Amino acid sequence: MSDKKFFETDSVILDEKNVKPKFHFSCPKGWMNDPNGFSFFNGEFHLYYQHYPFDTKWGPMHWGHATSKDLLHWTDQPIALYPESLCDNQGCFSGTALTENDHQILIYTGVTKNPANTDENIQQQCIAINDGKTFSKLPQNPVIRSSDVKTPFRITDFRDPKIFKDESVYYCASVIMKNDGNGAIALFSSTDLIQWKFLNIIAETNGEMGGMWECPDFFTLDGKDIIIVSPQSVNACDQKGFHDGNNSVYMTGILDKTSFTFKTDTRKENNFYAAEIDYGIDFYAPQTMLSPDGRRIMIAWLQAWESYITPKDHTWSGMMTMPRELVLKNNCLIQRPIKEYEEMIANCPAISGKISAYSLSSDYDKITCHNNSETILTFGNISYPQCELNVKFTLPKNTISESYISPNLSESAKGTYDDSEKLLITVYDDNECYVNFTLNISKMQLTFDRSHSINNGGAINNRSINVKQQDDGSLKFRFIFDTYSCETFINNGEKTFTNAYFLNQTVRKIKVQAKLKCGFEYKFIHFNDM
């Protein structure tokens, strides 16, 4: 049972080392992981999340709660769900929300001891109602029991319900672990939220995409049905674009509501049925919602199980990504910063310029040309570490050379570059901690390295992403920095690359160094006080 007074009355005093992110949501204190119930209700955006308020480590799950008018500035609310009933006394695990008129339906996984074997937990699905004032759990909980699953599975792994509605029928997609250790999505239906019917397994893995799946999402975008899921224990595969460990992927297709099967498209980018959503170290359990103006908006946990970092002096752990708008282009998900972010930075101070190859060394406000072979662009001291750096390359299209290189370069550009030619972005403090973003043009690869950040980074410190020229020969990067993270949007959101890091000071410097045979354009935006 939880001590509500501890959370609701205990104040948190933050020192300079414990400054919170500015536009990436983090909990008031304690632990946070998966977003839950991301939704719009009573004129506000609501974000629920997996939360343990008593330590910066994972513990029995609660549902934290925050609200926002603009998806960037959040107000903490009292905890929505506590692990305090007979069907959830071991934790209120991940789930989703459905807004209906004057109330919200919150569906979540209740965890309790297995009555047949008290050494193991059992997971089942429960419902609570938010009327705008209180959160009331249904007395019939659990409403979807393990006995309702009409296929062999492990009762210890049945969780993360996604609720949606089609006309008068409620649907719930929940993940299970099959007896062979692989994940699947089970679909249920109901007309009253209490009696649920098992329909079918709509998607599953036979080991070709990890083991257990987590946190399914289901929605329709531009006429396509889309499933998002986060597989665990994935083996890295360059052809599929997957990395070792936990991944977050999407599948496009059509849900046949006669047979209740999901007819999946073959992904053109990897000749597989699923594709990676984000290629960074720190992105997991994304969840989407439909905004009042019709945008499909996604948010995710800006960490991952194998790689999370919590500095010793922090009273909080975990943060969310910046919400992103999703669009479907050529059957591929494109991610872009939400319009609220674009409006926020529209009037922020900015400097921009165009640099010729091998020609420039500059400080923050003055450009001086030199006849050297290295470009150094240093953006002075930053009193707050929130900023954005845009870099655009236009690679040669008519250069012929015999040696080379990456298949991601145009044929005319192959052989133009050697492996020593790079763009290096360094974010650093005054205590010799730093992180690097390195773009190798010859390999057409962007690499992130946080091994020199505070506490030597985390269990995973390096990750690379392959990039491609656009049709016009250009290559675009948008690096959006908050206090402890960088979200990189590549080629207008065709790919994203999300990574967390911790430095010793809130005063940061950014240095951009280039040794390239091509020039580039840049725009640096230093955010106003947010």
The domain spans of the chain are 25-341, 347-526
Partners of 203 in the β-ladder: 185
Query: Is 11 a residue whose pLDDT tops 60?
Result: no
Q: Is 341 helix (H, G, I), strand (E, B) or coil?
A: helix
- Tell me the pLDDT tens digit for each residue of 220-269: 999 999 999 999 999 999 999 999 999 999 999 999 989 999 999 999 99
Phi/psi region, residue 296 (left: phi>0; alpha: psi -120 to 50; beta: rest), is beta
Q: How far apart are CA 392 and CA 334, in angstroms?
A: 19
Query: Is 291 a residue whose pLDDT tops 70?
Result: yes
CATH T-level fold of 25-341: Tachylectin-2; Chain A (2.115.10)
- Tell me the pLDDT tens digit for each residue of 65-101: 999 999 999 999 999 999 999 999 999 999 999 999 8
Q: Is 148 helix (H, G, I), strand (E, B) or coil?
A: helix
Q: Quick one: what percent of the chain has pLDDT higher than 90?
A: 68
Which pLDDT does position 422 carry in this prediction?
83
Which pLDDT does position 401 carry in this prediction?
33
Which pLDDT does position 374 carry in this prediction?
46
Q: How far apart are CA 493 and CA 421, in angstroms?
A: 25
Residues near 198 by Cβ (< 8 Å), separated by ≥ 6?
Answer: 148, 149, 150, 151, 186, 187, 188
Q: How far apart are CA 393 and CA 413, in angstroms?
A: 13
| Residues 417/418/420/422 CA torsion (nearest 10 deg) | 30
Average pLDDT over residues 114-142: 95
Query: Is 399 a residue whose pLDDT tops 90?
Result: no
User: Could you identify the residue written with the tokens 């280039």?
Assistant: 514
Instruction: Catalogue the active-site residues.
Output: 34
Query: Is 372 a residue whose pLDDT tops 80?
Result: no
> 347-526 domain in CATH 1.10.260.40?
no
- Whole-model pTM: value is 0.91
- Tell me the pLDDT tens digit for each residue of 172-190: 999 999 999 999 999 999 9
Which pLDDT does position 386 carry in this prediction?
86
User: Cβ(512)–Cβ(495) under 8 Å?
Assistant: no
Residues near 5 by Cβ (< 8 Å), separated by ≥ 6?
Answer: none
User: Cβ(397)–Cβ(473) under 8 Å?
Assistant: yes
